[in-house]
Chains A and B, each alone.
Chain A
Amino acid sequence: MSETIELIDKYVVKYGRTREALMPLLQAIVEEKNYLTRDDMAEIATRLNISAADVYGTASFYAFLDLEKRGKYVIRVCKSIIAEMKGKKEITKTLENVLKIKVGETTADGMFTLLETNDIGWSDKEPSMLINHTPYTDLTPDKVIQIITEYRNRH
């Protein structure tokens, strides 16, 4: 919690104690902890002097502001029509197999969360996915396995 308070202070200095600070603040906490807890949102509400319901209402609108516990690495596989045509299904299946979870779930060690998302802007290089902010394109099952292995080896 104290780290959250530190973060909030930093952003309040930058944007002022205003409603406009809300999005950058929520984004910064997700950046740091990968999702927002009720406590975080309540703390932000107090600091910005708005209601907790308002904070929740705003956060829940945005797909990337996760309100459920997420892994250290959030994988979002693009599910646009072009991605589907280029083999997205196989990519998702491969990820489910190597991570041993289904779409929407998080691995037991808290490392990976697997999600699907709308067009991420790489229709010329599908299938594609984001791992946190990093895009991976022209995916094949082999490439996916290699990428996940690299992430695992970082630890």
Chain B
Amino acid sequence: MNQSKLKRSDIIFGKYTPTDYNVLEKTVKRPPEEIISDIIKSGIRGRGGAGFPTGLKWKYAATLKSDEKYVVCNADEGEPGTFKDREILLRVPRKIFSGMAICGYVIGAKKGFLYLRGEYAFMLPQLYKDLEILDAKLKELALDFSIEIRLGSGAYVCGEETALFESMEGYRGEPRNKPPYPVVAGFRNKPTVINNVETIVTAQTICKIGPEDYANLGTTDSRGSKLFSVSGDTPIPGVYELELGMTLADFVEEYGDGDTKAVQVGGASGFCVPRKKFAETIIGFEGIPTGGSMMLFNNKRSMYHVLQNFLEFFCEESCGQCTPCRIGTQQLRDGLKAIKDKVKDEDYLETLLGLTETMKLSAKCGLGQSVANAFKSIVENFTEEMVY
């Protein structure tokens, strides 16, 4: 077998001591400013998809004056092809809780929430057991912080941070206008730090190993390592922790089945990369950033079916609040089918591509805005498959 060109890492799952909260104990003895400075120095950016620098988010929240502040861990993980947060929740939950408590200490929040997707409700018994241990530790450290778990109920859009707050407050999961951003007015309109599960665990790890060791991983633009959910036409599906900045060609060499025709990077709301662009495509913020969903398709697969599956997903999961997204997703699904069925001719693809541009500009949240990513990259790279 060839020597792998990928750089593996093992900081998320590695060194898990089930009974202690040592990192938390050590960290909360340091001044908050020092911890924030470490998180900024490490270069970590949000792992939920948008990639906002985590240290800056925490710093801003810490400077705000408010009677109440909140820490929310986003465990909605609804992006098709993503399952890395599931593994974190199952294998190292105490790193999540300890990271949330550290964040609470740093920004001055007394209350944290884990928003867990309904599909992961089976994890609750174990998570509650781990929370009991955390509570005991917090009491021992005399830290005024507690964590509550709130469940989702099968709506992908609730992973969007403001929709998530609406859901936690007892409303339909409809995204709010931004600004104000969550850090200013989030849950209950109070300053809120919301981070992805992996971001929180990584921040906790940085507190443990120090920012220098962490920043040594990855590239200048994409510091650190990240979890990838690898699925589809691969002999070895699973969760892998890799340093950022690899090329897609190296990735496919490791995980492909020898016949890879395309990789969908970042799930249904991400981008499709065809074989001819594998070598030039870098996975990271300097190339294609990703929440970690990597779906491989081989030559036997119809990219038309792939795209239709994604469009059906968006039609069902659009919250319906704004017209470009509610109607646009349906128009794209029906229009693409009409071309395939020869009811419309090939030129109609241009009209549909124009529609995705409109959606990108006028949809209210990331769901509607990102439909263009998959649509455009699949249609432009596999035009024949759409038409014939």
Interface residues of A (CB under 8 A from B): 18-24, 26-27, 57-58, 61-65, 79-82, 84-85, 117-126, 130, 133-135
| Residues of A with C-beta under 8 A to B309 | 79-81, 84
Interface of B is mostly: mixed
- The residue that A20 contacts in the complex, of B170, B237, B295, B310, with Cβ under 8 A, is B170
Assembled-state Cα–Cα distance A63/B172 (Å): 11
Contact of B80 among A26, A57, A62, A118 (CB under 8 A): A118
| Cβ-defined contact, B317 with A121, below 8 A | no
* Contact A57 B172, beta carbon cutoff 8 Å: yes
* Listed A/B pairs (30) with beta-carbon separation below 8 Å: A21-B170, A24-B150, A27-B151, A61-B319, A62-B173, A63-B153, A64-B118, A64-B153, A80-B313, A81-B306, A81-B310, A82-B80, A84-B305, A85-B233, A85-B297, A85-B301, A118-B80, A119-B81, A119-B313, A120-B119, A121-B83, A121-B86, A121-B117, A122-B83, A122-B86, A123-B80, A123-B231, A123-B232, A124-B83, A125-B237
- Mark each residue of chain B from 99 to 124: 1 if its CB lies under 8 Å from any CB of chain A, else 0: 00000000000000000011111100
Q: Is the CB of A27 within 8 A of B153?
A: yes
Interface centre among A26, A62, A84, A126 (most CB of B within 10 A): A62
| Cβ contacts under 8 Å, A133 to chain B | 121-122
Interface residue B10 (Cβ < 8 Å from any Cβ of A): no
Which of the four size classes fits the interface of chain B?
35 or more
CA distance A23 to B171 in the complex (A): 8
Complexed CA–CA distance, A84 and B232 (Å): 10
Give chain B's interface residues, CB within 8 Å of chain A: 77-83, 86, 117-122, 150-156, 167-174, 229-233, 237-239, 293, 295, 297, 301, 305-306, 309-310, 313, 316-317, 319
A125 to B167, CA, bound (A): 29
- Known A-B contacts A58-B171, A124-B239; A134 and B86 likewise in contact (beta carbons under 8 Å): no
A18-B169 Cα distance, complex, nearest whole Å: 9
- What B residues does A123 contact at CB under 8 A? 80-83, 229, 231-232, 237, 293, 295
Q: Is there an interface contact between B306 and A23, defined as CB atoms closer than 8 Å?
A: no
